[in-house]
A and B are shown apart, each in its own frame.
Chain A
Amino acid sequence: MRPRTRLATGALQALAIAACGGTTPPPNSSSTAELEAIYWARTDSTRMRFTETDVQFVTGMIGHHAQALVMGALAPTHGASSSVQILAARIINSQQDEINRMQQWLSERGEPVPEVMIKGTELMVHGTEYTLHMPGMLTPEQMRELDEAQGKEFDNVFLRYMIQHHRGAVTMVEELFGQEIATQDEGVFKLASYIQADQLTEIVRMGRMLTALSDLPLSGAR
Chain B
Amino acid sequence: MKSPAPPRLAGTRRTVHLVALLATALFVTACSMTSSSFTMSGPTPDASERVPSPDPRVGLSGGWLDAGEAAWNVRLVSNTLPPEEFIGVTNSDLAFYRNYAIQGNYNGYTVWDISNPENPHIVVTYVCPASQSDVSFYKDLLFVSGEGLGGRLDCGTQGVPEPVSQDRLRGIRIFDASDIANPKYIANVQTCRGSHTHTVVTDPNDDENVYIYVSGSSRVRSEEELPGCIDAPIEDDPNTALFRIEIIQVPLANPAAARIVSSPRIFNDLAAPARHAEYPADSIALEARRRAAGRPPGGGQRTGPTQCHDITVYPEVGRAGGACGGYGLLLDITDVRNPRRMYAAADSNFSFWHSATFNNDGTKILFTDEWGGGSQPRCRLTDKYEWGANALFTIEGDDLVFQSYYKMPAPQTREETCVAHNGSLIPVPGRDIMVQGWYQGGISAFDWTDPANPFEIAFFDRGPMNEEELARAGSWSVYWYNGYMISSEIARGLDIFELTASGLLSQNEIDAAKTVILETFNAQEQPRFVWPPSFTVAAAYLDQLHRDNGLALAQINEARASLAEAERMSGQRRRSALTQLATEIDGMAPGASDANKVKTLAGAIRDLAEIP
Binds B, one of A39-47, A56-64, A141-149: A39-47
**B208 CB to nearest A CB, Å:** 20
How far apart are the CA atoms of A83 and B282 in the complex, in Å?
9
B550 CB to closest chain A CB (Å) equals: 40
| 8 Å CB contact of A26 from B65, B122, B150, B184 | B122
Contact present for B156 and A32 (CB under 8 Å): no
Residues of A within 8 A of B346 (CB): 205
Pair B227/A218 contact, Cβ less than 8 Å: no
B270 to chain A: closest residue by CB: A204
A95 CB to closest chain B CB, in angstroms? 11
Q: Is the CB of B149 within 8 A of A182?
A: yes
Q: Does A94 contact B (CB under 8 A)?
A: yes
Contact of A42 among B81, B87, B156 (CB under 8 A): B87
CA distance A49 to B293 in the complex (A): 55
Complexed CA–CA distance, A197 and B353 (Å): 11
Interface residue from B289, B307, B371, B375 paired with A217 (Cβ < 8 Å): B289
Can you list, as one digit per residue, whether each of B149-166 has a CB less than 8 Å from chain A (1) or not (0)? 110011110011111001
Shortest beta-carbon distance from A23 to chain B in Å = 5
B253 at the interface (CB under 8 A from A): no
Contact between B219 and A196, CB atoms less than 8 A apart: yes
Interface presence of A77 (CB below 8 A): no
CB proximity to B under 8 Å, residues A150-207:
173-174, 177-184, 186, 189-191, 193-194, 196-198, 200-202, 204-205, 207
Q: How many residues of B contact A (CB 8 A)?
A: 93
Q: Which of B125-178 contact A (CB under 8 A)?
A: 125-128, 131, 148-150, 153-156, 159-163, 166, 169, 173
- Which residues from A are CB-within-8-Å of B387? 90, 93
A212 to B274, CA, bound (A): 10
How long is the Cα–Cα vector from A104 to B375 in the complex, in angstroms?
Answer: 12
A139 within 8 Å of B (CB atoms): no
Q: Which of B186-194, B540-548, B582-590 is near enough to bind chain A?
A: B186-194
Contact A193 B155, beta carbon cutoff 8 Å? no
Q: Is B484 an interface residue, CB under 8 A from the partner?
A: no
Assess whether B125 is in contact with A22, with CB atoms less than 8 Å apart. yes
* CB contact under 8 A between A17 and B155, given known A24-B125, A26-B122, A200-B306: yes
By the criterion CB–CB under 8 Å, are A36 and B89 in contact?
no
A55 shortest CB reach to chain B, Å: 16
Q: Which of A23, A178, A217 has the most CB of B within 10 A?
A: A23
- From 328 to 362 in chain B, residues with beta carbon under 8 angstroms from any chain A beta carbon are 346, 348-349, 351-352
**CA separation between A162 and B297, bound complex, in Å?**
27
Q: Decide if A17 touches B352 in the complex (CB within 8 Å).
A: no
Determine the residue in chain A with the shortest Cβ distance to B235: A222
Stretch at the interface among A3-11, A66-74, A117-125, A127-135: A3-11
**A190, B227: Cα distance in complex, Å:** 25
CA gap between A212 and B124 in the complex, in Å: 56
Question: Given the known A-B contacts A22-B127, A30-B84, A189-B148, are A212 and B282 also in contact in the complex, defined by CB atoms under 8 Å?
Answer: yes
Is the CB–CB distance between A1 and B155 below 8 Å?
no
> Are B325's CB and A39's CB within 8 A?
no
- B188→A7 contact, CB < 8 A: yes
Q: Which residues of B contact A97 (CB under 8 A)?
A: 372, 376-378
User: A16 to B286, alpha carbons, bound, how many Å?
Assistant: 59
**Is A221 positioned at the interface, with any CB of B under 8 Å from its CB?**
yes
B185 at the interface (CB under 8 A from A): yes
A10 surroundings in chain B (CB, below 8 A):
153-154, 169, 188
Task: Place the interface of chain A in its size category.
Answer: 35 or more
Which residues from B are CB-within-8-Å of A7? 187-188, 256
Within 8 A of A (CB), among B187-233: 187-190, 217-219, 226-228, 233
A25 at the interface (CB under 8 A from B): yes
CB closest chain-A residue, reference B164: A182
Asked if B532 CB lies within 8 Å of chain A CBs, one says no
Give B258's nearest chain A residue, CB to CB. A7
Provide the B56-100 mask, 1 if CB < 8 A to any CB of A, else 0.
Answer: 000000001100000000000000010111011110000000000
Bound form: Cα–Cα A84–B21 in Å: 64
When chains A and B are docked, how far (Å) is the Cα of A136 from the Cα of B85? 43
| Interchain CB contact under 8 A, B233 and A1 | no
B286 A212 Cβ-Cβ under 8 A? yes
Residue of A with least CB distance to B346: A205
> Are B469 and A104 in contact, CB atoms less than 8 angstroms apart?
yes
Interface residues in B438-458 (C-beta closer than 8 Å to A): none
Q: Are B149 and A183 in contact (CB under 8 A)?
A: yes
Q: Check A1/B302 contact, CB under 8 A, given A7-B187, A177-B219.
A: no
CB pair A204 B281 closer than 8 Å:
no
Residues in A with CB closer than 8 Å to B286 are 208, 211-212
The 4 closest A-B pairs by CB, nearest first: A42-B88, A212-B282, A10-B153, A22-B127
Q: Could you list 12 examples of A-B contacts with CB < 8 Å?
A: A25-B125, A38-B84, A46-B89, A81-B281, A90-B351, A94-B372, A104-B470, A184-B150, A186-B148, A189-B149, A196-B218, A211-B301
